Amino acid sequence: MSNFELPAQINPYALADKMSELEGEVSLDRLSRLDEATEGVIRTAQASLSFGRDASGRRVVSGQVDGAVNLLCQRCLKPFQYELAGSFKMALVYNDEMARSLPTDLDSLLLLPDQPLDVAQIVEDELLLCLPMHAVHPDGECQIETQFGAEESEGEPEKAPNPFDVLKDLK
């Protein structure tokens, strides 16, 4: 992908009519929500966006995004690096009726034709959707003791006193 900074705002309707493509990066200072949701953003987000029309004539934005963040492992509570990568395909709509009529393979992007689109927000939204539901190290990399009491189980288990033994004396 390109090392050029993506513009702050664009007109996606005009870009879709021209069948345009944008490729570049979103700097760390424009990814504040992703930074707050993680233990820190490691590198700039890379994005490739394609604007055009689908077979039904709808204006469509599709693309790929990737980035890297630090996450806090929910098992051992230590940070680890996590690579984010995702793709999306959205149709530009300007009312709820248009959004409801979309096929299931298209997400809706509600935006008026004269309203600019914040590119960093779309890229950041997609990266946030790439975050795992439960952040844990990959298998075998977590630094936590998963078996407790292994030394105690070496000998014969101690028999706990029966609380009903007191009732035997009542006969």
Per-residue pLDDT of 121-153, as tens digits, reads 999 999 999 999 999 988 878 877 656 655 555
Residue 3 lies in a domain: no
- Extract the runs of DSSP E, i.e. beta strands, from 54-170: 59-72, 79-93, 107-110, 117-118
Domain of residue 46 covers 9-140
Q: Is residue 135 part of a domain?
A: yes
0.85 cut: is pTM over it? no
Let me know if residue 38 belongs to a domain.
yes
Mean residue pLDDT of the chain comes to: 88
Report if residue 45 sits inside a domain: yes
79 lies in some domain: yes
